[in-house]
Amino acid sequence: MKLHPLSVPYRAISRGLSLGTTLVFIGITLSGTGTIPRLALPALVAIAIFGVLATAAWQVAYYRRFEYKLSDEGLDIASGVISRRNREIPLRRIQNVDISRNVVQRALGLAALDLETAGGGETEASLRFVGYDEAKRLQREIQRRKRRVNGRAVAGDEAEEVEASAVERPPETEEQLFELSATELAILSVLSFDLRYFSLLAFGPVAFPFVPGITELAFVGGVMLAAMLAVALWAIGAVVTFGRYYGFRLSRVGDELRYERGLLQRYDGSIPLEKVQTLTIRENVLMRRFGYAALAVETAGYAPGQTPSGGSEAAVPLATRERVLELAQEVEPFDPPEFSRPPKRARRRYVARYSLALAGLSGVLFGAQAVFGWPDPWYLPLALVLLTPVAAHLSWANRGYDARDRHVVTRNGFWRRTTKVVAYDRVQTVIQAQSPFQRRRRLATVVVDTASSAGFAGREARAVDLDTEDAAALRELVGRRLQERLGERRSNLDAR
């Protein structure tokens, strides 16, 4: 199969534009410095025409030499204009199939299709661009063929002849799991102020002059500036979120999850349920107050930070807490967890930790005051020490873990409470770690690592600050349960 013919002009124009802009910038920077000879207008026009022709020719060649084929074994892609590459992706290794279309592509009926497998850092196969219908057909066909191949493997060799009629089931109906309502989208957009934007505000004070006499003026102006910036950042965050999650829908087709979202750029993709690594439920303080939560379904497909939502496209951005739990149960049926908290002495550790942090901050401010004479009361952060017991208690109260029959569930964080659900048969390694501070109080942390790509950012399931003995017990329990689950799966397969 070939790419869509319209992909040639589309690629040529988009590539040409970006190349052109770069060249113009280089030209502007270098002009007048004498690095490049002054060119007459005809020469410039000639160069431009040559560039356009070369780009177009390259894209035509790319199109002519790009070929893909979907078979029962996998997807074969032969590509490359000068150096050729033949790639075969086995069907059962495919994790996610993502389709994206921006406004122009939608008008032209084009779509970009990306296939993810667990290996490697980058997207394994990327078709730029095929027709939207073709992309949807591939998505469906990959699922269908995968099921057929699996069915054949289970049924054994003798069934191979009847496979075509017997194993092939009628096309599955699509069952809608969740649709983001207009109200929820509005709430989500309004609440989507990302705390990370605050780091931009840190540059604010640098801009204020340290001229004596106008300090008060600068302070008032600074506060106003910061407030305006905060409002602007909040508005940007709201608009971005609105565009990203507009028309979000999550549905289930047989053994796959399908999602759709986006206002200007539409995304839709599929995730096989058997590839789900971890479920993450997030509730920040505000969401908790009003009974909302967010759910992310994590797979091993993406490289770190590759996707806007950090490794999970099938994330329910906002829904009522009950709805989120229901959805999570639908994806991965787990028992409602009963969390056991860390021992109470962990709170003393948090008090010590926060106090140390405040002392460190005061130290830095003291140094700044000694050098720049600003800020004047450098010991101000020390007043916050009074609040550390409260903070410590909140931290402690939100931590917990629960190791049930089939899943281990961990919970952490007050500002952004994160609950992670990991099925034992998804566990890759179990790590028990103990820092010197933890050693003093006989505490330890157990990290349950999966192949989920979201885990790269240190967001794997962690049971923090357990009693040393409990931690060792949990470490061994998770390992044992993994073996039990795998044994069960194997005997199920044998029985079939």
Partner 1 sequence: MEVLNPRVRFVWVVGAAVFALVVGGGAFVADRFVLGVGVWVAAVAAALALVLGVVHALLKYRIWRFEVRGDDLYLERGVVTRVNTVVPFVRVQHVDTQRGPVERAAGLASVVVYTAGSRGADVTIPGLTPDRADALQEQLRSLAIESEGEYDAV
CB of 427 to partner 1, least distance (A): 7
What is the pattern of x (binds partner 1, CB under 8 A) and - over residues 40-69?
------------------------------
Q: Does residue 434 belong to the site contacting partner 1 (CB under 8 A)?
A: yes
Distance of CA 259 to the CA centre of its chain: 14
Q: Does residue 432 belong to the site contacting partner 1 (CB under 8 A)?
A: yes
CB of 482 to partner 1, least distance (A): 6
What is the pattern of x (binds partner 1, CB under 8 A) and - over residues 295-334?
-----x----------------------------------
Backbone angles phi, psi at 464, to 5 degrees: -95, 140
Q: Does residue 483 belong to the site contacting partner 1 (CB under 8 A)?
A: yes
- Residue 411 CB-density burial (10 A; 0-12 exposed, 13-18 middle, 19+ buried): buried
CB of 372 to partner 1, least distance (A): 20
Taking the CA atoms of 195, 197, 202 and 205 in sequence, report the sign of the dihedral they define: negative
Q: Which of 18, 29, 31, 429 binds partner 1 (CB under 8 A)?
A: 429
Q: Which of 59, 96, 388, 452 binds partner 1 (CB under 8 A)?
A: 452
Tokens of 147: 């099921």
Identify which of 485, 447, 483, 481 has the alpha carbon closest to the alpha carbon of residue 465.
447
Q: Which of 89, 97, 180, 427 binds partner 1 (CB under 8 A)?
A: 427
From 258-266, 282-290, 348-356, 477-485, span contacting partner 1 (CB under 8 A): 477-485
- Which residue number, 75 or 427, has a Cβ lying nearer to partner 1? 427
Q: Which of 16, 193, 453, 470 binds partner 1 (CB under 8 A)?
A: 453
Q: Is the peptide bond before 37 cis (omega within 30 degrees of 0)?
A: no
CB of 492 to partner 1, least distance (A): 10
DSSP secondary structure, 326-374, as one string: HHHHHHS--PPP-PBPPPTHHHHHHHHHHHHHHHHHHHHHHHHHHHH--
Q: Does residue 455 belong to the site contacting partner 1 (CB under 8 A)?
A: yes
Tokens of 314: 């099938």
The span from the CA of 258 to the CA of 268, in Å, is 7
Q: Which of 175, 469, 476, 488 binds partner 1 (CB under 8 A)?
A: 476
Sequence-distant contacts of 307-314: CB under 8 A, at least 24 apart: 308/244, 310/454, 310/457, 311/452, 311/453, 311/454, 311/456, 312/280, 312/454, 313/96, 313/98, 313/259, 313/267, 313/269, 313/271, 314/250, 314/257, 314/259, 314/269, 314/271
From 169-177, 200-208, 223-231, 429-437, span contacting partner 1 (CB under 8 A): 429-437
- Indicate the pairing of strand 266-272 with strand 85-90: unpaired
Q: Does residue 478 belong to the site contacting partner 1 (CB under 8 A)?
A: yes
| Segment 269 to 288, residues that bind partner 1, using CB under 8 A | 275
CB of 458 to partner 1, least distance (A): 7
Number of residues that bind partner 1 (CB under 8 A): 39
- Which residue number, 18 or 483, has a Cβ lying nearer to partner 1? 483
DSSP secondary structure, 182-217, as one string: HHHHHHHHHH---GGGHHHHTTHHHHS---TTSHHH
From 49-57, 173-181, 204-212, 432-440, span contacting partner 1 (CB under 8 A): 432-440
Q: Does residue 436 belong to the site contacting partner 1 (CB under 8 A)?
A: yes
Q: Which of 52, 61, 361, 472 binds partner 1 (CB under 8 A)?
A: 472
Q: Does residue 356 belong to the site contacting partner 1 (CB under 8 A)?
A: no
Identify which of 21, 112, 105, 9 has the alpha carbon closest to the alpha carbon of residue 57.
9
Q: Are 10 and 62 in contact (CB under 8 A)?
A: no
Q: Does residue 238 belong to the site contacting partner 1 (CB under 8 A)?
A: no
Identify which of 440, 424, 352, 344 has the alpha carbon closest to the alpha carbon of residue 388.
352
Residues that bind partner 1 (CB under 8 A): 92, 118, 275, 300, 427-436, 439, 444, 447, 449-456, 458, 460, 472, 475-476, 478-480, 482-483, 486, 489-490, 493
